[in-house]
Chain A
Amino acid sequence: MTLAVQHLWLIPALPLAAAAVGALAPRSGRTLAAGAAIGAMAGSFILACLALAGALADPAAHQVFNFAWFDLGFGALRLGFLLDPLTAFMCVMVAFVSLLIFIFSTGYMKEDANYKQFFCFLSLFAAAMLGLVVANSLLLLFVCWELVGLASYLLIGFWFHKPSAAAAAKKAFITTRIGDLGFLLGLLWLQDNQGTLLFYDGGAGFLEAAALANLSHLLPCGLAVSTAIGLLIFCGAVGKSGQFPLHVWLPDAMEGPTPVSALIHAATMVAAGVFLIARVYPLMTADQALANVPVHALTVVAFIGAFTALLGALIAVAQNDIKRILAFSTVSQLGYMMLALGVGSWVAAIFHLLTHAFFKALLFLGAGSVIHAAHHEQDIRALGGLSKKMKVTYLTFALGTMALVGVPLLFSGFWSKEAILHAAHGWRVSHLPFYAAVLGVVLTAFYNTRLMAETFFGSPRSENAAHARENGPAMTLPLVILAACAVLLSLVNLPSYPWLAAKLLGEQEVRGHPIFEGAGLMGLSVVLVALGVGLGWALYGRSLRANSAAKDPLAVRAPGVIAALANRLGFDELYAATVGRLNAALATLADVLDRFVWGGAVDFLAALGQFTGLVTRETDERTLNGGFDTTSDKLRGAGQAYSQAQTGEAHGYLRTLALGFVILLLLVVLGGAR
């Protein structure tokens, strides 16, 4: 049994219905809202699996179902759904991770008064994300993209009574909107150029050969049109996926509840940018054949990705909040995915996206479990010693960390990172991104070792940590399932049997190569991981922190560097001093214009109107009214005079009648004689 493409809309429709149920349920309908959300997500997951079966039957085909949304002067605006292995794998991943996180949330949010809104927002998010994945139109994708941003805004600011959460929600929304402006411009340009925003449409979609050939002419600045449009769309991906220079919102987004961080800001939404670039990959590569252009779109993607990967890993070294460390780690890993896209291996990017979704969701949920148990203590300096108190969380968190670090052979993260490093190594344009990625691997191993050592080893360094105990099965069960996935997911794309890559590329046959081909590079990365872990252990593991106020051993050795990194290299201050200042100056200018220029014009017009009114009134009262008053007086006088005849005496009337009759008679008689 498979799900046909024309029924693909059911996958996002189910959580959307659950969101409606959550929105309409009374405040006390906690079980109803949560049950609807989890039930709908389970349904979506089953449907997504059926869709995957349908897509794998013919992996090379792009099954589409298009329909007209509404008619415009220049033709119909068409939307559609697309079913191919990329969509199907994403659907399954999003639905599965969402399902687990929904279940986890029933435990994590148990004490929250706004429990049912939380599930309403989560369902809305899942619906938008699944809609984004199944879209066959850049427009539909953009609509869902913005809905995802809205849900993210609502969920980051879920605890809106905290000023920091409200500010973080605004920051996330506005920062991503800057990228979305580029996305929107690219979308409009494409619509203008191609007349369609459908990806695949039986040869007429803009990702198909006929359309891409139209995009190869050069602009006055030397860029190909496809490069320009591709880079504009990439702007949207930069914003959503937290790439440099728009990465600043993602760490702040950790103000939201932890399941939100796991679902939206680690596993799914932030991966949407990577998915978007993978989806429009034919457009991004359309300029590769041109030799005389200054830059190819993918080159920009690769450099930004590599820089972000390194930047995120560097800043993560000096953070103390458990969720912020993971947030910067997410920034860094998204950079790796972008790097893979940029160097031409979108399959490696999607593989890493899928494995990262599982192990990063696991890490965030593990962090949530720790935070929940330790009474909302998030500072790793004040934690410690949790390995004995929270065994399940500890073990699953360790598995997730090993997947993220890339501990060889057993863990999915190792294979996906390896694929990216191989692709980066083979890139002919430049070797710089490869070196950045390699350095990033060391740093990743280093800061994760620190995170593990500080959080779980030693003895508790605060009251909250001392009282921590393991959470209930609603929270530990998702951890166990995700941990199993974090390990087992490597099996779908081992170098000797790259099933996932083959299906994504639309090949029926899976052609592997020996598992240790390129063993030199693999050996290098094993050494690097060992180096990072060893450094981390030497600094943080051997001599454990004594109390929460003790100085960081790295900060003792290089105080200036660590202070700068802890301050996130001052990007927030830089933006406040440049973009923020500029914005404030523009706002002041607009205020002045409003108040004095436009306001003055409006005031002048108002005064003119008042003056006209005055003139009219004077004319009315002095000239026209006099005439009418005189006429009315005369009429009234005449009426009074005539009413004198109305005596009320019936005899008088009769007499008048008789007199009149006599006069008439006389007239007739005299006239008749003539």
Chain B
Amino acid sequence: MSPLQLCLVLSSLLFCVGLAGALARSNTILVLLGIELMLNAANLNFIAFWRYGPQPAAGLGVIFVLFAIAVAAAEAAVGLALVIAIHRHRKTVRLQDSTALKG
């Protein structure tokens, strides 16, 4: 297997672990963790395709990933703030309990 394929397999495994966590866990924080894992799997793909792609010299992939990490950090901050706010009001962090936005 080429290094690229190895990287892709790794990132697929990482994605599946994240997806499984996001779908299976009921603690909202852990669901967020799962989502972060999936995001990082995608980041790994960016790096891999850049490193083994036609133009490895230009820092395009790294910059892409840095942006994605920055956005993910901001998103995690917002997500955790929401969780804390919900916890203050309802004394719970179970995702199943927060269904106020249903149609």
Asked if residues B102 and A658 are in contact (CB atoms below 8 Å), the reply is no
Contacts of B19 in A (CB 8 A): 658
Which of B2-10, B48-56, B58-66, B93-101 forms contacts with chain A?
B93-101
Over the window 63-103 of chain B, the binary record of Cβ atoms lying under 8 Å from chain A Cβ atoms (1 yes, 0 no) is 00000000000000000000000000000000110111111
How far apart are A651's CB and chain B's nearest CB, in angstroms? 6
Asked if residues A642 and B22 are in contact (CB atoms below 8 Å), the reply is no
Contacts of B103 in A (CB 8 A): 642-648
Q: How many residues of B contact A (CB 8 A)?
A: 14
Counted as pairs of residues, one from A and one from B, with CB atoms less than 8 Å apart, the total is 35
Contacts of B101 in A (CB 8 A): 646, 648
Asked if residues A650 and B95 are in contact (CB atoms below 8 Å), the reply is yes
Asked if residues B23 and A658 are in contact (CB atoms below 8 Å), the reply is yes
A654 at the binding interface (Cβ < 8 Å): yes
Most buried by A among B31, B99, B103: B103
Contacts of A622 in B (CB 8 A): none
In the bound assembly, the distance between CA atoms of A644 and B95 in angstroms comes to 19
In the bound assembly, the distance between CA atoms of A646 and B98 in angstroms comes to 13
Asked if residues A648 and B98 are in contact (CB atoms below 8 Å), the reply is yes
Contacts of A648 in B (CB 8 A): 98-103
Contacts of A654 in B (CB 8 A): 22-23, 31
In the bound assembly, the distance between CA atoms of A658 and B21 in angstroms comes to 12
A542 at the binding interface (Cβ < 8 Å): no
In the bound assembly, the distance between CA atoms of A646 and B101 in angstroms comes to 8
How far apart are B85's CB and chain A's nearest CB, in angstroms? 15
In the bound assembly, the distance between CA atoms of A651 and B26 in angstroms comes to 8
Asked if residues A649 and B96 are in contact (CB atoms below 8 Å), the reply is yes
Give the residue of A645, A649, A655 whose beta carbon is less than 8 angstroms from that of B99. Answer: A649
Over the window 644-673 of chain A, the binary record of Cβ atoms lying under 8 Å from chain B Cβ atoms (1 yes, 0 no) is 111111110011001000000000000000
Contacts of B26 in A (CB 8 A): 651
Asked if residues B31 and A650 are in contact (CB atoms below 8 Å), the reply is yes
Contacts of A645 in B (CB 8 A): 103
Instruction: With CB as the reference atom, state the residue of chain B lying closest to A655.
Output: B23
Interface set, chain B 11-31, CB cutoff 8 A to A: 19, 22-23, 26, 28, 31
In the bound assembly, the distance between CA atoms of A655 and B19 in angstroms comes to 9
In the bound assembly, the distance between CA atoms of A545 and B82 in angstroms comes to 116
How far apart are B89's CB and chain A's nearest CB, in angstroms? 16
Instruction: With CB as the reference atom, state the residue of chain B lying closest to A643.
Output: B103
In the bound assembly, the distance between CA atoms of A642 and B102 in angstroms comes to 11
In the bound assembly, the distance between CA atoms of A642 and B26 in angstroms comes to 26
Give the residue of B95, B100, B102 whose beta carbon is less than 8 angstroms from that of A651. Answer: B95
Contacts of A642 in B (CB 8 A): 103
Contacts of A647 in B (CB 8 A): 99, 102-103
How far apart are A619's CB and chain B's nearest CB, in angstroms? 38
**Given A651-B95, A651-B96; A646-B22 close (CB under 8 Å):** no
In the bound assembly, the distance between CA atoms of A654 and B28 in angstroms comes to 13
Over the window 633-646 of chain A, the binary record of Cβ atoms lying under 8 Å from chain B Cβ atoms (1 yes, 0 no) is 00000000011111
Contacts of B96 in A (CB 8 A): 649, 651
Contacts of A646 in B (CB 8 A): 101-103
Instruction: With CB as the reference atom, state the residue of chain A lying closest to B28.
Output: A650
In the bound assembly, the distance between CA atoms of A66 and B20 in angstroms comes to 103
Instruction: With CB as the reference atom, state the residue of chain A lying closest to B15.
Output: A661
Asked if residues A651 and B98 are in contact (CB atoms below 8 Å), the reply is no
In the bound assembly, the distance between CA atoms of A654 and B19 in angstroms comes to 9
In the bound assembly, the distance between CA atoms of A651 and B24 in angstroms comes to 8
Instruction: With CB as the reference atom, state the residue of chain B lying closest to A649.
Output: B99
How far apart are B81's CB and chain A's nearest CB, in angstroms? 16
How far apart are B37's CB and chain A's nearest CB, in angstroms? 13
Instruction: With CB as the reference atom, state the residue of chain B lying closest to A642.
Output: B103
Asked if residues B23 and A651 are in contact (CB atoms below 8 Å), the reply is yes
In the bound assembly, the distance between CA atoms of A649 and B102 in angstroms comes to 8
Contacts of B99 in A (CB 8 A): 647-649
In the bound assembly, the distance between CA atoms of A566 and B59 in angstroms comes to 123
In the bound assembly, the distance between CA atoms of A651 and B21 in angstroms comes to 11
Instruction: With CB as the reference atom, state the residue of chain A lying closest to B102.
Output: A648
Instruction: With CB as the reference atom, state the residue of chain B lying closest to A644.
Output: B103
In the bound assembly, the distance between CA atoms of A658 and B102 in angstroms comes to 20
Contacts of A658 in B (CB 8 A): 19, 23
In the bound assembly, the distance between CA atoms of A648 and B103 in angstroms comes to 7
In the bound assembly, the distance between CA atoms of A648 and B22 in angstroms comes to 16
Most buried by B among A645, A646, A648: A648
Contacts of B102 in A (CB 8 A): 646-649
How far apart are B86's CB and chain A's nearest CB, in angstroms? 11
Contacts of B22 in A (CB 8 A): 654
In the bound assembly, the distance between CA atoms of A654 and B101 in angstroms comes to 15
Over the window 76-100 of chain A, the binary record of Cβ atoms lying under 8 Å from chain B Cβ atoms (1 yes, 0 no) is 0000000000000000000000000
Over the window 612-648 of chain A, the binary record of Cβ atoms lying under 8 Å from chain B Cβ atoms (1 yes, 0 no) is 0000000000000000000000000000001111111
Asked if residues B98 and A650 are in contact (CB atoms below 8 Å), the reply is yes
Contacts of A643 in B (CB 8 A): 103
In the bound assembly, the distance between CA atoms of A650 and B101 in angstroms comes to 10
In the bound assembly, the distance between CA atoms of A449 and B95 in angstroms comes to 123
How far apart are A212's CB and chain B's nearest CB, in angstroms? 97
Contacts of A650 in B (CB 8 A): 28, 31, 95, 98
How far apart are B38's CB and chain A's nearest CB, in angstroms? 10
Instruction: With CB as the reference atom, state the residue of chain B lying closest to A645.
Output: B103
Contacts of A644 in B (CB 8 A): 103
Contacts of B100 in A (CB 8 A): 648
Instruction: With CB as the reference atom, state the residue of chain A lying closest to B101.
Output: A648
Instruction: With CB as the reference atom, state the residue of chain A lying closest to B26.
Output: A651
Nearest 3 CB-CB pairings of A with B: A648-B102, A643-B103, A646-B103
Q: List 24 A-B contacts (CB under 8 A).
A: A642-B103, A644-B103, A645-B103, A646-B101, A646-B102, A646-B103, A647-B99, A647-B102, A648-B98, A648-B99, A648-B101, A648-B102, A648-B103, A649-B95, A649-B96, A650-B28, A650-B31, A650-B95, A650-B98, A651-B26, A651-B31, A651-B95, A655-B23, A658-B23
Q: Please list the residues of chain A having a beta carbon within 8 angstroms of any beta carbon in chain B.
A: 642-651, 654-655, 658
8 additional contacts, CB 8 Å, given A647-B99, A649-B96, A651-B31? A645-B103, A647-B102, A648-B99, A649-B95, A651-B26, A651-B96, A654-B22, A654-B23
